[in-house]
Amino acid sequence: MDGGFETLEIRQPQQGSDGVGEARANEFAQVRVGGKIDGYQVVGALAEGGMGAVFRVRDRETTDELALKAPLPGGRGGSYTHRLRRFLREARLTGRMDHEGVARVRSEGHCDGLPYFTVDLVDGIPLSERIYDEGVLPVLESVRLIEHCARAAHHIHEKGVVHRDLKPANILVRPDGTPVIIDFGLARDATGIDPRITQSGIWLGTPAYICPEQATGEASRVDGRADVYSLGAVLYECLTGLPPHGVGRTKTIFKALREKDARPPSALRPEVPAELDRICLKALARDKDARYATAMELADDLQDLLIELERSALENTMVSDQVELGCQSDDGVARGWNDKVLLPTEQDEVPTVVVTTPRAEAPLALRSEGPALVPVTAEAQPTTARSGRRSSGSNRAKSGARPKAAGRCRTSKRELADLAARYLAFGGPTVAAVLGLLLLL
Whether the pLDDT of residue 395 is over 70: the answer is no
Residues 205 and 291 in one domain: yes
What is the DSSP track for 210-241?
S-HHHHTT-GGG--HHHHHHHHHHHHHHHHHS
Residues 185 and 113 in one domain: no
Q: Is residue 440 part of a domain?
A: no
Choice among 7-16, 108-117, 349-358 with the minimum mean pLDDT: 7-16
Model confidence pLDDT, tens digit, residues 89-114: 899 999 999 999 999 999 998 887 78
Q: Is residue 332 part of a domain?
A: no
Is pLDDT larger for residue 403 or for residue 242? 242
CA distances from 381 to 351, 358, 364 (A): 21, 11, 7
Whether the pLDDT of residue 52 is over 60: the answer is yes
Q: What is the CATH number of the domain that holds 276?
A: 1.10.510.10
Model confidence pLDDT, tens digit, residues 150-194: 999 999 999 999 999 999 999 999 999 999 999 998 899 987 655
Q: Is residue 18 part of a domain?
A: yes
Q: Is residue 73 part of a domain?
A: yes
Is pLDDT larger for residue 10 or for residue 86? 86
At 97 the pLDDT is: 95
Backbone angles phi, psi at 140, to 5 degrees: -60, -45
pTM reported for the whole predicted model: 0.65
Sign of the CA dihedral running 81, 82, 83, 86: positive
At 31 the pLDDT is: 61
At 313 the pLDDT is: 83
At 60 the pLDDT is: 84
Choice among 260-264, 308-312, 351-355 with the minimum mean pLDDT: 351-355
Residues 107 and 134 in one domain: no
> How do strand 40-48 and strand 52-58 relate by DSSP bridges?
antiparallel
Work out the mean pLDDT of the chain and round it to a whole number: 75
Whether the pLDDT of residue 355 is over 50: the answer is no
Q: What is the CATH number of the domain that holds 39?
A: 3.30.200.20
Residues 166 and 132 in one domain: yes
Question: 406: phi > 0 → left, psi -120 to 50 → alpha, else beta; which?
Answer: alpha
Q: How confident is the model at residue 363 (pLDDT cuts 50, 70, 90)?
A: very low
Residues 165 and 221 in one domain: yes
Q: Is residue 329 part of a domain?
A: no
Model confidence pLDDT, tens digit, residues 187-213: 999 876 554 444 444 567 889 999 999
Whether the pLDDT of residue 230 is over 80: the answer is yes
- Chain-centre distance for alpha carbon 295: 22
At 399 the pLDDT is: 43
Residues 203 and 109 in one domain: no
Is pLDDT larger for residue 360 or for residue 22? 360
How many domains are there within the chain?
3
Is pLDDT larger for residue 24 or for residue 271? 271
Residues 149 and 262 in one domain: yes
Is pLDDT larger for residue 56 or for residue 314? 56
Task: Write down which residue in 101, 120, 139 finishes a domain.
Answer: 120
First CA to last CA across the chain, in angstroms?
129
Beta pairing partners, 118: 68, 107
Is pLDDT larger for residue 403 or for residue 80? 80
Residues 62 and 179 in one domain: no
Residue 265's nearest CA partner among 225, 305, 297 is 305
Residues 165 and 268 in one domain: yes
Q: Is residue 338 part of a domain?
A: no
CA-to-CA distance for 34 and 367, rounded, in angstroms?
82
Model confidence pLDDT, tens digit, residues 253-269: 999 998 999 999 999 99
Are residues 107 and 117 in contact, defined by beta-carbon separation less than 8 angstroms? Answer: yes
Average pLDDT over residues 379-396: 43
Residues 387 and 311 in one domain: no
User: Mapping DSSP to helix (H, G, I), strand (E, B) and coil, where does residue 112 land?
Assistant: coil
Residues 176 and 282 in one domain: yes
Average pLDDT over residues 301-307: 96
Residue 99's nearest CA partner among 156, 176, 144 is 156
Q: Which residues are catalytic?
A: 165
With a pLDDT cut of 70, the percent of the chain lying above it is: 62
Q: Is residue 31 part of a domain?
A: yes
At 78 the pLDDT is: 62
CA distances from 161 to 97, 157, 186, 218 (A): 9, 5, 10, 16
With a pLDDT cut of 90, the percent of the chain lying above it is: 41
Choice among 6-20, 222-236, 337-351, 425-439 with the minimum mean pLDDT: 6-20
Task: Write down which residue in 120, 141, 170 finishes a domain.
Answer: 120
Q: Is residue 168 part of a domain?
A: yes
Domain that holds residue 74: 5-120
DSSP state of 102: B
At 405 the pLDDT is: 42
Residues 108 and 133 in one domain: no
